[in-house]
């Protein structure tokens, strides 16, 4: 392969835009910045943007269409678009995790018997939810709160024990409380709801 050089500064680079390296190209263009907010579904991972749902490929297509240009770089939470006017648009993407409508519909709110109240570091909270998803725990519902997230699950005792073990890898600050919610005459037993409050 032959070498490519920036016509302005002479730097050797693979990615030339109109004959210029990225740095020079950006210097010669007007730069605009925009911020957008999106939601990412906890369960299916789809992106919700302006009340519509996208997979990541279509989300980027939507951005190109909305802002009129071509994406030239995607880096963590920043997308760089070269607009039709040749100006550069930097889009900062802020996201929070939530449930999309479809996943919400599938989840049955009423049948859970365990409530896991995760509080504190949002990164760790997201990690725990990802681990539960990966290990086949069916999270029935997720409620976003200001200071954390409540997860609602149906579990048997064994499932509960292994789940507790996984959470204990993150913190020992766990409090478990049981609440009687009804009495089952057929089995002569109380039905409980278990609250696991976890500080991360
Ligand atoms: Zn250059
Ligand atoms: Zn979803």
Ligand nearest to the CA of 105: 2
For ligand 2, the distance from its centroid to the CA atom of residue 47, given in whole angstroms, is 8
Where does the pLDDT of residue 99 fall: very low under 50, low under 70, confident under 90, or very high at 90 and above? confident
Could you say which DSSP state residue 4 is in?
Answer: -
Of the candidates 80, 73, 148, 75, the residue with the CA atom closest to the CA atom of residue 115: 148
Where does the pLDDT of residue 109 fall: very low under 50, low under 70, confident under 90, or very high at 90 and above? low
For ligand 2, the distance from its centroid to the CA atom of residue 103, given in whole angstroms, is 4
Determine, yes or no, domain membership for 120: yes
Q: Are residues 49 and 67 in the same domain?
A: yes
Determine, yes or no, domain membership for 13: no
Q: What is the pLDDT of residues 113-156, one digit of tens each?
A: 899 999 999 999 999 999 998 998 888 889 999 999 999 998 88
Total of domains in the chain = 2
Ligand nearest to the CA of 40: 2
Are 117 and 193 in contact by the 8 Å Cβ rule? The answer is no
Determine, yes or no, domain membership for 164: yes
State residue 111's pLDDT score: 66
State residue 103's pLDDT score: 82
Ligand nearest to the CA of 27: 1
Determine, yes or no, domain membership for 169: yes
Ligand nearest to the CA of 17: 1
Q: Are residues 26 and 65 in the same domain?
A: yes
For ligand 1, the distance from its centroid to the CA atom of residue 31, given in whole angstroms, is 17
Q: Are residues 127 and 195 in the same domain?
A: yes
Phi and psi (nearest 5°) for 137? Answer: -75, 130
Which residue, 65, 98, 131, sits at the end of a domain? 98
Mean pLDDT across the chain: 89
Distance CA(101)–CA(105), nearest Å, equals: 6
Ligand nearest to the CA of 41: 2
Q: Is 80 exceeded by the pLDDT of residue 184?
A: no
Could you say which DSSP state residue 110 is in?
Answer: G
Determine, yes or no, domain membership for 15: no
Q: Is 90 exceeded by the pLDDT of residue 174?
A: yes
Distance CA(59)–CA(37), nearest Å, equals: 12
| pLDDT > 90 in the chain, percent | 52
Give the orientation angle of helix 122-134 with respect to helix 157-168, to 10 degrees. Answer: 140
């Amino acid at each position: 392969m032959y070498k490519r050089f920036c016509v302005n500064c002479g730097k050797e680079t693979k990615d030339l835009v109109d004959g210029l390296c990225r740095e020079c190209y950006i210097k010669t263009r007007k730069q605009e910045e925009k911020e957008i907010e999106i939601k990412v579904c906890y369960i299916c991972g789809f992106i919700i943007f302006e009340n519509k749902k996208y997979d990541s490929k279509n989300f980027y297509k939507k951005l190109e269409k909305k802002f009129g240009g071509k994406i030239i770089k995607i880096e963590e939470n920043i997308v760089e678009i070269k607009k039709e006017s040749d100006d550069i648009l930097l889009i900062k993407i802020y996201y929070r995790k939530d449930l999309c409508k479809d996943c919400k519909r599938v989840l049955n709110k009423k049948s859970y018997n365990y409530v896991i109240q995760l509080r504190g570091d949002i990164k760790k909270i997201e990690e725990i939810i990802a681990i539960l998803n990966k290990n086949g725990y069916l999270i029935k519902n997720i409620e976003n709160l200001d200071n954390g997230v409540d997860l609602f699950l149906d579990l048997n005792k064994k499932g509960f024990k292994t789940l507790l073990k996984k959470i204990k890898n993150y913190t020992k600050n766990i409090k478990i409380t049981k609440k009687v919610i009804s009495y089952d005459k057929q089995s002569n037993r109380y039905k409980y709801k278990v609250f696991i409050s976890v500080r991360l």
